């Protein structure tokens, strides 16, 4: 699914910028907290944001990652309930913050915007299903492979070239619900099996097929 800001008309884009408040966030800065009342719809003008939960003190699980042009926290902004997770800037980022009232008015006025929101909801449902499948896997290998395939399917734009994963091992660990040590050990094992490739500390997926075959034939 293409980011919102790169898939809408220029007219709608101008409308969004006109009703939004622009705010800069530094890397690591909290955008909103889990349990906080939703007062705005956030759209990333540029930067990267992670949405996290803390099931245990000191343990962070990444629910999702959003990048430039994407909106997030749509359900909470729609119904005015609380944010179900915490959003944190992963890099210096600029966000468009649209007040809930203006968000609802635009939904009522713009068919194009309404379609984008519905499409976003459908995409998030698919992502949540994939996340549940990842956490339901007991094997660390399965969790890591599922996480890598999720990243590939969402971010790889040219399937004829190797896909480079820019996330840190810690980020991958938090997406898979594992410790960093287990994640590093598992990634090294996958590289030894030639399912992925590691160059200068970065993970490359030359093709998702070996990972998919491995996942399908895996026996706990």
DSSP 36-51: PBP-EEEEEEESEEEE
The rounded Cα 171 to chain-centroid distance in angstroms is 11
Distance CA 5, CA 16 (A): 9
Query: How many independent structural domains does the chain possess?
Result: 2
Residues 25-44: tens digit of each pLDDT: 999 999 999 999 999 999 99
144 lies in the same domain as 127:
no
Q: Looking at residues 146-156, what average pLDDT do you find?
A: 92
The rounded mean pLDDT for the chain is: 93
CATH code for position 199: 1.10.10.10
163 lies in the same domain as 178:
yes
For residue 117, CA distances in Å to 1, 41, 78, 172 come to 12, 11, 10, 28
Look at residue 57 in the predicted model and tell me its pLDDT: 67
Running DSSP on this structure, what letter comes out for residue 194? T
168 lies in the same domain as 106:
no
Asked if residue 72 has pLDDT above 60, the reply is yes
Q: Of the candidates 133, 168, 187, which is a domain's last residue?
A: 133
Distance CA 156, CA 11 (A): 29
18 lies in the same domain as 115:
yes
DSSP letter string over 63-88?
Answer: EEEEETT-B--HHHHHH--B-SSEEE
99 lies in the same domain as 169:
no
SS3 track for 108-147: HHCHHHHHHHHHHHHHHHHHHHHHHHHHHCCCHHHHHHHH
Residues 101-126: tens digit of each pLDDT: 999 999 999 999 999 999 999 999 99
Which residue range forms the structural domain that includes residue 95?
4-133
Q: Which pTM was predicted?
A: 0.84
Distance CA 152, CA 137 (A): 19
Task: Read off the tokens for 134.
Answer: 């990842």
On the CB side of 17, CA atoms within 13 Å amount to 11
Q: Looking at residues 57-72, what average pLDDT do you find?
A: 90
Distance CA 168, CA 10 (A): 35
The rounded Cα 91 to chain-centroid distance in angstroms is 14
Distance CA 124, CA 194 (A): 31
């Amino acid at each position: 699914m293409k980011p919102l800001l790169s898939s809408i008309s220029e007219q709608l884009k101008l409308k969004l910028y006109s009703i939004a408040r622009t705010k800069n966030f530094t890397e690591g800065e909290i955008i909103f907290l889990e349990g906080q009342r939703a007062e705005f719809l956030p759209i990333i003008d540029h930067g990267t944001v992670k949405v996290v939960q803390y099931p245990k003190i000191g343990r962070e699980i990444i629910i999702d990652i959003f990048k430039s042009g994407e909106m997030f926290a749509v359900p909470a902004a729609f119904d005015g309930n609380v944010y179900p997770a915490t959003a944190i800037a992963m890099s210096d980022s600029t966000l468009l913050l649209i007040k809930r009232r203006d968000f609802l008015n635009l939904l009522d006025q713009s068919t194009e915007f309404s379609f984008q929101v519905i499409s976003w909801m459908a995409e998030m449902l698919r992502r949540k299903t994939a996340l549940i499948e990842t956490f339901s896997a007991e094997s660390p290998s399965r969790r890591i492979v599922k996480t890598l395939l999720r990243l590939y399917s969402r971010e790889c734009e040219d399937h004829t070239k190797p896909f480079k994963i820019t996330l840190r091992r810690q980020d991958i660990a938090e997406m898979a619900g594992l410790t960093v040590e287990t994640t590093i050990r598992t990634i090294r094992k996958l590289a030894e099996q030639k399912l992925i490739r590691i160059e200068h500390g970065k993970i490359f997926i030359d093709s998702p097929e070996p990972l998919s075959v491995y996942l399908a034939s895996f026996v706990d």
